[in-house]
Chain A
Amino acid sequence: MTIKEIQEEIVDEFSMFDDWMQRYEYMIDLGKSLPLIDEQYKTDDNIIKGCQSRVWVHADLEQDVLSFTADSDAIITKGIIAILIRVFSGQHPKDIIEADTNFIDEIGLKEHLSPTRANGLVSMIKQIKMYAIAYQTQIK
């Protein structure tokens, strides 16, 4: 699936819930299914700055597509990063760099996060795109 298609799928899923408690429950479930980062990559270098809880993200390039693993000490944060990883893992760096992230506004995620968490979300997206830019240069 393309990034756009996955984003539409997530928007559909979020629209099925009646209220934000249910959406939080869903995000917590997503957080529990997050592909966990290998312990060796849980370094200070991999901590995303701008998040109030600690978040680590690691990227691997294989056959021209990126795969991401991550972890956080807060479960809702893990849910947020899980959503992002579902969108961007398995995609070509060029597509990641060019992708828009309007789906976050469509599901209302940003406005339902505290300002500190919303900043953290922006930082996570920025970090994922930075990985894509870095790995893009390795692809001929």
Chain B
Amino acid sequence: MQKTTLDIQAIRKDFPILSRTVNGQPLVYLDNAATSQTPKQVLDAIVDYYSGYNANIHRGVHTLSQEATDKYEQARIKIQHHFNAKLAHEIIFTAGTTHSINLVANGFSSLLKKGDEIIVSALEHHSNIVPWQMLCERTGAVLKVIPMNLNGELELEAYYKLLSSNTKLVFCNHVSNALGTVNPIKEIINAAHNVGAAVLIDGAQAAPHIKADVQALDVDFYVVSAHKMCGPTGAGMLYGKEEWLNKLPPYQGGGEMIAEVSFDKTTYAGLPHKFEAGTPNICGGIAFGAALDYMNAIGFDAIASYEHELLEYATAELLAIDGLKIYGTAANKTAVISFNVGSIHPYDIGSILDKLGVAVRTGHHCAQPIMDFYGIPGTVRASFSFYNTKEEVDILVAGVKRAVAMLQ
């Protein structure tokens, strides 16, 4: 029996896509860690924008421009409140997590020197590895890695030993996309601050499940994508402490980010506009705000507790399958299950599940170092959202059993 107080069937009606079929079967969407689906409240915000007040912001004297500017800035304040940032201008609109990380990495190019050290966790997505490698190549800084154990948890003792006065930056995800591990970011942040290093936390996988409080965390940078939390693609945010954002140079040049321009000298605009060159994804920012409204109306505590129910149920049901092994068994994890069955290739299971209407991710999940650690080519990953049901878990489990029977 379901313990949740949420009316899941009513919630599902908010998501038009959930009523479609795939290959003649009802869609069972379990690829939420890649992107979440969009409720009609967010779709309405997108349609309202383009049909009601589409205009460029911060420039026009006309009414539409004013309305669009107001809504966009209101969205920034919604995001500020959601993540409990002290100041609205500490929220920078970006195209998403990857863009946010690159903005910070680029900014640090001018602040690092040869011999400085930056630390990254073994659990990172490629987007939180490659920009830092590129930064190291540009500056001569050295990249060090926090190791993980077989459960998919970071080894904090090893991390503490990596820290020194040379450490300038630490990067870690809040939740691992490949394994679902919730990392002890408060401990990671505190220890980094003790040696004077700045910390960037990649919140892309955490934001749909956990409401992060950037002031309580005392984190220097926190980055998310809207499309993982019921919002549109191509929109996201960079939270940065005001003092850090003031230290970083602008990322891209263009309109909106300037105060005065002459051919002799250009002075830059203040925060947040310094980092928002050009016409932004106005609609995306507004829809991001609508997505936060939607999720907060349901409530993050209720979401987390229901998703945990789904995780426990799905874990028990999947483990009953002969030869099935789950990768990522951290004590604290979100509703993500990465698994393989015997020596069957994850692509084979994923292909057959697709024919049964079940959408999962297969492969290395942009986290090849984790797959190398386990010595596997990849996994099948089922990732759950608050709109999934136990009946869908049953369809997944029956599908995996059918696939295994065909493939063995």
Contact = CB atoms under 8 A, between A and B. Distances in A.
A38 to B, nearest CB: 21
> Looking at chain A's contact residues, is the secondary structure mostly helix, strand, loop, or mixed?
helix
B249 interface: no
B23 A74 contact: no
A20 interface: yes
Contact of B347 (A19, A112, A117): A117
A20 B347 contact: no
Nearest to A113: B351
A117 B351 CA distance: 10
B316 interface: no
Contacts of B352: 21, 24
Interface string B314-356: 0000000000000000000000000000001101101110111
Contacts of A34: none
A77 B344 CA distance: 12
B374 to A, nearest CB: 15
A53 B355 contact: no
B406 A24 contact: yes
B377 interface: yes
Interface in B1-57: 23-24
Contacts of A21: 352, 355-356
Contact of B377 (A54, A75, A112, A117): A54
Given A24-B406, A73-B345, A74-B345, A52 B351 contact: no
Contact of B348 (A25, A54, A76): A76
A63 interface: no
Interface in A18-72: 19-21, 24-25, 28, 52-54
Contact of A25 (B23, B347, B406): B406
A20 B344 contact: no
Most chain-A Cβ atoms within 10 A of its Cβ — which of B348, B352, B356?
B348
Contacts of B354: 114
Nearest to B352: A24
Interface of B: 23-24, 344-345, 347-348, 350-352, 354-356, 363, 377, 406-407
8 contacts: A20-B355, A21-B352, A53-B377, A74-B348, A75-B348, A76-B347, A77-B345, A114-B347
